[in-house]
């Protein structure tokens, strides 16, 4: 009667015995070997895995059809259907259904009274396998940032964490928590689940000059990191010209930051109570002294960032006023001939000569020009003493040595 199920054996016994039959399960003979496998070995919450049990008797023949196999699962991490089940052709297939808790489910298949902790031939009567459930599947976290290098003043970067199992498979539904040592994260520390591609996303907002290290941690403690950097003050700068101005002289200030892509506006504090705006601006200091210039940029997020500070020394300009010099042509003019008077040789350390005041010495009065050249003629003969005064924007002026023009 080898190979008959316990129910068939009981039926035969009913025919042979008076008083009924007590059903006895058909179990694997002592010394048999059971092999249990699961596919897949990792499942999401509520997911399923197919269990396959194969059995071989001591002589190598398959277990009889109807051999009863019992399953156990630790910590109530899942259920198995059917349980128990019966072999057919030496095999039994069952379904493991995970619960709602994360963990490693140890599934054991047992036939008869033999336990996995036994000795001798008893050790072959039981076998087990492990199925990881939910977040326990995670073994590696790969974190990346895009962009990894933010522009001057800061900005935002998308952080991506890809979670995989031991075989490199990307896992869906894994809980990830993002944290950072600088800046702020859009998630605010909430759990973000990976999508069907095994990826979880967050957004970092970072300003200032400190690099940020973002850490992604799965609920079972696996971590990965990525670094996002912001250029320091060495990338933010400005120049001014002239570098040694005098009081009243116009100074031009220009932002020379290496990356302009994230700058929306510019602010200047000239150190004398005056301010300015724009990437390039001008300012004239009315008094001599040393001033501290603070240059601030505003990025595309509306956040202010002190770009650079420099000092400027302004002199009084005493003794350094405009140097006056002029020439005329022709040098031997005749009556009514136009004479070109040219003061282009006049110089001024401020570069701001804005008036040329001519007295041609013929009683016609003075003539003021804003350019260094002018024309004049003499209708009568004589010797005429020509005087020129040059003046600049802060009111300082200087006069040239007089020159004589002789008209025959």
Assigned CATH for 140-228: 2.60.40.10
Higher pLDDT, 117 or 196: 196
Classify the C-alpha dihedral 74-75-78-81 as positive or negative.
positive
Let me know: does 125 contact 34? Beta carbons within 8 Å.
yes
pLDDT of residue 87: 94
CB 387 within 8 A of CB 359: yes
Q: Are 133 and 43 in contact (CB under 8 A)?
A: yes
Tens of pLDDT, residue by residue over 64-103, are: 999 999 999 999 999 999 999 999 998 999 999 999 999 9
- Spatial strand order in the sheet of 48-56: 33-39, 48-56, 91-98, 78-81
Topology of domain 327-407, per CATH?
Immunoglobulin-like (2.60.40)
Q: What's 235-314's CATH class?
A: mainly beta
Question: Residue 392's pLDDT band (boundaries 50, 70, 90)?
Answer: confident
**CATH number for domain 6-135, candidates 1.20.120.450, 3.20.20.120, 3.20.20.210, 2.60.40.1930:** 2.60.40.1930
Give the pLDDT confidence score for residue 308 in this predicted structure: 85
Spell out a b/e string for 159-195, using b for 16 or more CB atoms within 10 Å of the CB, else e.
Answer: bbbbbbbeeeebbbbbbbbbebebbebebeeeebebe
Residue 154 has pLDDT above 80, yes or no: no
- With 0.95 as the threshold, say if the pTM is over it: no
Give pLDDT tens digits for 224-239: 999 998 876 556 789 9
Kindly report the CA angle at 209 between 300 and 222, in degrees rounded to 5?
A: 100
| Strand, coil or helix: 76 | helix
Domain boundaries, the chain: 6-135, 140-228, 235-314, 327-407
The CA distance from 263 to 325, in Å, is 47
End-to-end Cα, the chain, rounded Å: 155
Instruction: List the single range of 183-187, 192-196, 206-210 with lowest mean pLDDT.
Output: 206-210
């Amino acid at each position: 009667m080898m190979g008959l199920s316990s129910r068939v054996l009981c039926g035969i016994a009913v025919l042979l015995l008076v008083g009924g039959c007590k059903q006895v399960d058909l179990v694997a003979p002592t010394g048999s070997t059971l092999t249990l496998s699961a596919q897949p070995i990792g499942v999401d919450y509520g997911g399923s895995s197919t269990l396959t049990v194969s059995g071989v008797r001591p002589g190598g023949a398959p277990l009889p059809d109807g051999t009863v196999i019992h399953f156990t699962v630790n910590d109530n991490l899942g259920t198995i259907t059917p349980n128990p089940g019966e072999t057919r052709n030496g095999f039994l297939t069952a379904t493991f259904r995970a619960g709602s808790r994360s963990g490693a489910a140890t599934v054991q298949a047992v036939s008869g009274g033999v336990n996995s902790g036994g000795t001798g031939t008893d050790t072959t009567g039981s076998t087990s396998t492990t199925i990881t459930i939910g977040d326990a599947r995670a073994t590696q976290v790969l974190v990346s940032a895009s962009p990894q290098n933010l522009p001057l003043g800061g900005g935002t970067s998308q952080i991506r964490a890809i979670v995989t199992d031991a075989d490199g498979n990307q896992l869906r539904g894994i809980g990830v928590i993002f944290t950072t040592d600088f800046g702020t994260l859009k998630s605010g520390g909430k759990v973000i689940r990976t999508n069907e591609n095994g990826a979880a996303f967050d957004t970092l907002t970072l300003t200032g000059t400190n690099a940020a290290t973002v850490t992604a941690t799965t609920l079972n403690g696996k971590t990965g990191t990525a670094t996002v950097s912001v250029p320091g003050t060495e990338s933010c700068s400005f120049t001014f010209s002239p570098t040694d101005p005098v009081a009243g002289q116009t100074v031009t200030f220009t932002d020379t930051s290496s990356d302009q892509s994230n700058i929306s506006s510019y602010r200047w504090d000239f150190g004398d109570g005056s301010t300015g705006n724009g990437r390039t601006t001008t300012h004239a200091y009315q008094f001599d002294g040393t001033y501290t210039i603070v240059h601030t940029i505003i990025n595309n997020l509306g956040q202010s960032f002190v770009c650079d500070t420099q000092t400027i020394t302004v002199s009084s300009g005493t003794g350094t006023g405009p140097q006056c010099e002029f020439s005329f042509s022709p040098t031997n003019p005749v009556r009514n001939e136009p004479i070109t008077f040219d003061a282009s040789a006049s110089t001024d350390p401020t570069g701001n000569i804005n008036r040329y005041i001519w007295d041609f010495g013929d009683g016609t009065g003075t003539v003021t020009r804003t350019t260094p050249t002018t024309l004049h003629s003499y209708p009568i003969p004589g010797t005429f003493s020509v005087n020129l005064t040059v003046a600049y924007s802060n009111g300082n002026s200087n006069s040239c040595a007089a020159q004589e023009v002789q008209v025959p």
